[in-house]
Amino acid sequence: MRIVITGGGGFLGQRLARRLAREGRIGDQPVTELTLFDIVAPPPPDAPFPVRSVAGDVADLPANAMPMGTDIVFHLAAVVSAAAEADYDLGRRVNLRGTDAVVDSCRRLTRPPRVVFTSSVASFSAAPDEVIGPATRQVPANSYGAQKAAAELILADATRRGFLDAVTLRLPTVSIRPGRPNKAASSFVSSILREPLGGEEAELPVADDFRLWITSPAHATDWLLHAATLDTAAMGPDRSVNPPGLTVSVGEMLAALEAAKPGAAALVRRVAAPEIQAIVATWPARFDPARALALGFAAHGPLEALVAEFLAETRGAA
Amino acid sequence: MRIVITGGGGFLGQRLARRLAREGRIGDQPVTELTLFDIVAPPPPDAPFPVRSVAGDVADLPANAMPMGTDIVFHLAAVVSAAAEADYDLGRRVNLRGTDAVVDSCRRLTRPPRVVFTSSVASFSAAPDEVIGPATRQVPANSYGAQKAAAELILADATRRGFLDAVTLRLPTVSIRPGRPNKAASSFVSSILREPLGGEEAELPVADDFRLWITSPAHATDWLLHAATLDTAAMGPDRSVNPPGLTVSVGEMLAALEAAKPGAAALVRRVAAPEIQAIVATWPARFDPARALALGFAAHGPLEALVAEFLAETRGAA
């Protein structure tokens, strides 16, 4: 299988590339080539198959970013929530024009590839206790979410037309991301666990009873790989999936932190950040997972497993 | 009030322009200037205020199409359903890039104008008896509908950001349009009344029990004018409205035709047109009008009034 990852230099793109390199296969097929595309050439993993790194502008996707014979495209390139809110033109260019460019590149291939697209919980807005189902309308309350929801429509239509074969995953907030805070409004959802586990302070811009819909990096990667290989005939015209994430409160996250490392929760400082709060306050935290489970997306483990996954990976890396 | 109409040379644009010219006011305000924009310079109506005609590409909107001080933009420019299905690039350029260009022109104004946008019943797909409500998710089954639904998201987000103040009307199929058939998949919905009323044959590509959601041209114009002046505070973040259209079966339309002109229904010939049927079969026909009525959109009259409106206008024009 010839695989392309846009946003291949990003956190999920790199993680996915390393996983493909380690396993050498996707589903029951060998990987024969991997192309990593990003604004700067992404570092290639050591792999048993050729890995090409291509740099460029996703809105003006170079021809060599989508080689003839491409079977699977992971379209992960995006301008994240707080960044798209701060720069409307940049968000529109990457999140919308970039998706159009992926569609156009797919149209030049001789057969339609599977396109796995990452949309987001941020494409919804909901009252705190509303349960989001497959038929829930997306009324985004931020530009990132609006651009993602629009891109979902474009990819579903491109699927119907036979240009490609899309599966959109509306990812929960991914936690615990390794590394440093990023420009996502949800950056604190990783920081409040990651920094105290490393002995550092973290800032918490929401209340303890604030609920979130989250997933671990390993689960998100599992879902991306499943989306790349599942039989889409069962999806019908609706190519978007709310995967079976985990609903947790900030208080539960802090309790899991304290259980994993006694004293760590004291490193979390409450701060006022109205611009962050305004974005994340509208994101739903409760989802009906029935359709995703029926499509074969793996159910999520408990919060403790998510913390343990991070600690094991951090130790493995050290 | 300074008013701009994109698609000002089209059927609804021209109708709206003549109505503004005749009344000289919009809501309780005098019209001080009207700009009609289209791909060729639209014919200006005789009006008690200056009318400017501007030609150009909506996706590359010229600066003089949106004068400083514009208060209201009717964004009607579109590539219609069957045409957008036949030419993906053209549909995307006009229906999506054109909307982005309107957003960008509004951003250059010193205060955000009201933007009245026409989306469509074609942005939904539904089982035959499903009732569409304000919270129903749009799962379009044609490129025109997908592009309109994506443009709704873009305009709602631009509203939230303060670039403009959008009201989207998801128009029912407009019937009876005067003139000749156009490239809309729904063109037959006017033809099967208009042609027989004029003594000509018409083609019917769907069954007699096929249900449609329709509106007369006069009602559509009333709604556009109401959308231009209503207090949007009551709308909240959801800037899209399903106006209170009329649900009718083709059989009821033919009975109304026969009642208005005995013998006319015999001029309607059943034809096979699978490409038309494939598009219109997914359009819902039943809508819950409660939100639209609460927002002040006028309820629709009966089918007989719709036929009478056409006959009176045709006689008036002759």
pLDDT at site B318:
67
Is residue B175 within 8 A of residue B306, CB to CB? The reply is yes
pLDDT at site B73:
98
Closest CA of chain A from B88, distance in Å: 9
Give the mean model confidence (pLDDT) for residues B200-222: 96
Q: How confident is the model at residue A127 (pLDDT cuts 50, 70, 90)?
A: confident
Q: Which residues of A touch B99 (CB under 8 A)?
A: none
pLDDT at site B32:
98
Cα gap A250→B42, rounded to integer Å: 58
Q: Are strands A240-241 and B246-249 parallel, antiparallel or unpaired?
A: unpaired
SS3 labels along B21-86: HHHCEECCEECCEEEEEECCCCCCCCCCCCEEEEECCHHHCCHHHCCCCCCEEEECCCCCHHHHHH
* Nearest residue of chain A to residue B95 (CA atoms): A154
C-alpha B280: how far from chain center = 16
Would you name the residues of B annotated as active-site residues?
Answer: 144
On whether any CB of chain A is under 8 Å from the CB of B138, the answer is: yes
* Global confidence as pTM: 0.96
Q: Which residues of B touch A162 (CB under 8 A)?
A: none
Q: Which residues of A touch B237 (CB under 8 A)?
A: 125, 139, 141
Closest CB to B146 among A136, A137, A157: A157
pLDDT, tens digit (0-9, with 9 covering 90-100), for B81-131? 889 999 999 999 999 999 999 999 999 999 999 999 999 999 999 887 899
| A2-171+216-244+286-300 carries CATH number 3.20.20.100 | no
Is residue A120 within 8 A of residue A135, CB to CB? The reply is no
> Over 80: is that where the pLDDT of A265 sits?
yes
Which of B157, B160, B275, B288 is the best residue to mutate to test the A interface, defined by the most A CB atoms within 10 Å of its own CB? B157
Cα gap B250→A76, rounded to integer Å: 46
Closest CA of chain B from A245, distance in Å: 21
pLDDT at site B115:
98
* Nearest residue of chain A to residue B155 (CA atoms): A146
* Nearest residue of chain A to residue B163 (CA atoms): A88
Is-catalytic flag, A144? Answer: yes
Q: Which residues does B216 contact at the CB level (< 8 Å), separation at least 6?
A: B174, B175, B176, B300, B301, B305, B306, B309, B310
CATH architecture of B2-174+215-244+284-299: 3-Layer(aba) Sandwich (3.40)
Q: How confident is the model at residue B279 (pLDDT cuts 50, 70, 90)?
A: confident
Q: Which residues of B touch A157 (CB under 8 A)?
A: 140, 142-143, 146-147
> Over 80: is that where the pLDDT of A128 sits?
no
pLDDT at site A156:
98
On whether any CB of chain A is under 8 Å from the CB of B125, the answer is: yes
- In this structure, of B8-12, B205-209, B277-281, B287-291, the range with the lowest mean pLDDT score is B277-281
Closest CA of chain B from A146, distance in Å: 6
pLDDT at site A275:
87
